[in-house]
């Protein structure tokens, strides 16, 4: 097996004295894990930061063997780690992707969405400029793994207009009329999720509450505590940013 491709660095686990097992997201080969010699050394440590774009060459004698890899930096997102909120967002998006996806399964839409999300975090002057992209990425990941929400029409009436809420049990949309008797029991459905475009701070936080419910229920229940903690950090910092806006 030999793969040469661009990739996004997701996670690094120390292995041996100086090396590490690195997880990366690739456009055509999905999540890949490989041993990188000297990964914790002075030269490669800044190359293997989560979110970095790299050129990676993976090779293994058999498909079941852990690949060996060489890595070259294409674009560094290191400066983002100097700011608490972008750093928390990168940590969350990377750890979620690394822990949720099965290895070697192609998810080209997720790769493009993750690359777009990280690019938005890098380019936007404020988190309000990328908060909606984070919500959309979480929704796409849920969908790609078979836990997508059904937001096309109301679960009760079948109508496809005035959809304002989502059932926390079924993940199906509910219209304003049908949602009224269940106020406080349903999850809010922000308009930007259905219509696209930008989102206000309240809508971003509502979107994160919506996706967070299904992520924690369906994907992160048996994962390490650090994954859930990473999301808690980014949500809390977004709430603070919203309060200061």
**Domain end residue (candidates: 60, 76, 92):** 76
pLDDT tens sequence across 204-219:
999 999 999 999 999 9
Q: Is the pLDDT of residue 228 over 70?
A: yes
Residue 225 is predicted with a pLDDT of: 75
Determine, yes or no, domain membership for 170: no
**Domain end residue (candidates: 76, 99, 115):** 76
CB burial string 73-101: b at 16+ within 10 A, e below: beeebeebeeeebbbbbbbbbbbbbbbbb
Residue 7 structural domain: 1-76
Contact status, residue 137 vs residue 93, Cβ threshold 8 Å = yes
pLDDT tens sequence across 71-91:
999 999 999 999 999 999 999
Determine, yes or no, domain membership for 12: yes
Q: Is the pLDDT of residue 143 over 70?
A: yes
- Give SS3 for 43: coil
Q: Which residues contact 169 (CB under 8 A, 6 or more apart)?
A: none
pLDDT tens sequence across 91-136:
999 999 999 999 999 999 999 999 999 999 999 888 999 999 999 9
Q: What is the largest CA-CA distance in the chain?
A: 62
pLDDT class of 1 with cuts at 50, 70, 90: confident
Strand order in the sheet with 163-166: 173-175, 163-166, 187-188
> Cα–chain-centroid distance for residue 29?
17
Q: What is the CATH number of the domain that holds 85?
A: 1.20.1440
pLDDT class of 169 with cuts at 50, 70, 90: very high
pLDDT class of 144 with cuts at 50, 70, 90: very high
Residue 110 is predicted with a pLDDT of: 98
Contact status, residue 171 vs residue 213, Cβ threshold 8 Å = no
**Domain end residue (candidates: 16, 50, 76):** 76
Number of domains into which the chain is organized:
2
Residue 154, number of CB atoms within 10 A of its CB: 22
For residues 35 and 123, membership in a common domain is answered with: no
Tell me the residue length of the chain.
245
Residue 223 is predicted with a pLDDT of: 66
């Amino acid at each position: 097996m030999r793969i040469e491709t661009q990739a996004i660095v997701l996670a690094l686990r120390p292995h041996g004295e100086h090396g590490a097992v690195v997880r990366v997201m690739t456009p055509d080969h999905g999540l890949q894990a490989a041993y990188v010699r000297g990964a914790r050394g002075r030269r490669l440590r800044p190359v293997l930061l989560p979110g970095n774009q790299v050129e990676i060459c993976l090779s293994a004698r058999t498909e079941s063997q852990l690949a060996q890899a060489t890595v070259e930096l294409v674009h560094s997102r290191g400066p983002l780690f100097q700011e608490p909120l972008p750093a928390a967002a990168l940590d969350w998006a990377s750890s979620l992707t690394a822990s949720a996806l099965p290895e070697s399964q192609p998810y080209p839409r997720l790769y493009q969405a993750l690359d777009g999300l990280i690019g938005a975090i890098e380019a936007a002057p404020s988190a309000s400029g990328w908060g909606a992209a984070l919500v959309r990425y979480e929704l796409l990941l849920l969908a790609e793994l078979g836990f997508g929400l059904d937001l096309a029409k109301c679960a009760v009436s079948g109508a496809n207009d005035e959809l304002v809420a989502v059932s926390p049990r079924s993940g199906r949309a509910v219209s304003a009329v049908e949602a009224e008797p269940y106020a406080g029991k349903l999850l809010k459905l922000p308009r930007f999720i259905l219509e696209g475009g930008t989102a206000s701070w309240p809508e971003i936080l509502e979107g994160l509450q919506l996706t967070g419910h299904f992520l924690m229920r369906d994907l992160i229940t048996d994962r390490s505590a650090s994954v859930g903690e990473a999301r808690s950090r980014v949500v809390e910092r977004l709430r603070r940013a919203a309060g200061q806006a």
